[in-house]
């Protein structure tokens, strides 16, 4: 079971903690101020009192998204827009196989770059290692733990063990928040 929550926000980085508390309190049906959230030494936030509840958050300039699951989870979101430095970044950080996948055709290179990039980020966030894990040491193209999806002009990748046995979309729900959590 994975719940995804998405919300527009003026300053998502500043609002991250409020957002996390809100989605977790909705999920757990507890008061948001009672949640004891700490970060691992690599920066992954976790709930001290609910070791079997996993969550992760991602933000762009104007959106924030969170995922909650009963399995370890990583989520990454990017806005789809032209990326002039893709080639240079890809050569530095991606595997040869991933570079070939992105650049083997002229069309949609930005989109394929973002697909690979968000999958990488979701993977390192799932593993909880963040920047400790070098991006060129693992390949995300055929990893069954990672799915990639689109919502409007945003691309999302989510990494979780539960996708390995995933047969339908019953265990995956999106929640678009119509009423801001910051009101
Ligand atoms: C955390 C990390 C994995 C993702 O960062 P990002 O994509 O820039 O930012 P996102 O908005 O998607 O995610 C940020 C959230 O990830 C979470 N996070 C931080 N460290 C984490 C970790 N080790 N594991 C899982 N989640 C983590 C935090 O909740 C953070 O939100 P907060 O700062 O509001 O608390 C980042 O530290 C990283 O390692 N990025 C690699 C980027 C890189 O190599 N760039 C160089 C080429 S340009």
SS3 string, the chain, reads CEEEEEEECCCHHHHHHHHHHHHHHHHHCCCHHHCCEEECCCCCEEECCCCCCEEEEEECCCEEEEEEECCCEEEEEEECCCCCCHHHHHHHHCCHHHHHHHHCCCCCHHHHHHHHHHHHHHHHHHHCCHHHCCHHHCCCCCCCCEEEEEECCEEEEEEEHHHCCCCCCCCEEEEECCCCCCC
121 within ligand 1 shell (Cβ under 6 A): yes
Index of the ligand 1 atom closest to the CA of residue 129: 23
Confidence bin at 113 (pLDDT 50/70/90) = very high
Q: Where are the domains of the chain?
A: 2-176
Going by C-beta distance under 8 Å and a sequence separation of 6 or more, which residues neighbour residue 174? 4, 5, 6, 151
Nearest CA to ligand 1 atom 23: 130
pLDDT in tens, 3-15: 999 998 888 777 8
Beta bridge partners of 37: 47
State mean pLDDT over 29-51.
96
Ligand 1 centroid vs 166 CA: distance in angstroms? 26
In this predicted structure, which of 33-37, 44-48, 79-83 has the lowest mean pLDDT?
Answer: 79-83
58 within ligand 1 shell (Cβ under 6 A): yes
Pocket test for ligand 1, best of 83, 121, 140 (most atoms within 8 A of CB): 121
| pLDDT > 70 in the chain, percent | 89
- pLDDT of 137 over the 70 cut: yes
Ligand 1 centroid vs 43 CA: distance in angstroms? 8
Confidence bin at 132 (pLDDT 50/70/90) = confident
158 within ligand 1 shell (Cβ under 6 A): no
Instruction: Identify the pLDDT of residue 167.
Output: 60
Pocket test for ligand 1, best of 130, 133, 134, 159 (most atoms within 8 A of CB): 130
CB–CB of 3/27 below 8 Å? Answer: yes
Which CATH code for domain 2-176? 3.90.470.20
- pLDDT of 174 over the 90 cut: no
130 within ligand 1 shell (Cβ under 6 A): yes
Nearest CA to ligand 1 atom 3: 130
Confidence bin at 146 (pLDDT 50/70/90) = very high
Has this prediction a pTM greater than 0.85?
yes
């Amino acid at each position: 079971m994975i719940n995804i929550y998405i919300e527009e926000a003026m300053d998502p980085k500043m609002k991250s903690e409020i957002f996390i508390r809100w989605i977790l309190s909705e999920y757990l049906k507890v008061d948001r101020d009672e949640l004891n959230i700490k970060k691992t030494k690599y920066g992954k936030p976790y709930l001290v009192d609910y070791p079997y509840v996993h969550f992760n958050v991602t933000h762009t300039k104007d959106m924030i998204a969170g995922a909650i699951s009963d399995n370890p989870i990583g989520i990454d979101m990017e806005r789809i827009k032209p990326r002039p430095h893709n080639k240079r970044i890809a050569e530095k950080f991606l595997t040869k196989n991933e570079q070939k996948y992105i650049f083997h055709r002229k069309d949609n290179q930005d989109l394929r770059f973002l697909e690979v990039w968000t999958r990488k980020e979701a993977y390192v966030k799932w593993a909880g290692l963040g920047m400790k894990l070098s991006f060129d040491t693992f390949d995300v193209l055929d990893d069954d733990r990672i799915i990639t999806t689109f919502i409007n002009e945003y691309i999302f990748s989510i990494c979780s063990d539960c996708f390995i046995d995933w047969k339908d979309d019953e265990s995956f729900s999106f929640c678009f928040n119509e009423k801001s959590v910051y009101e």
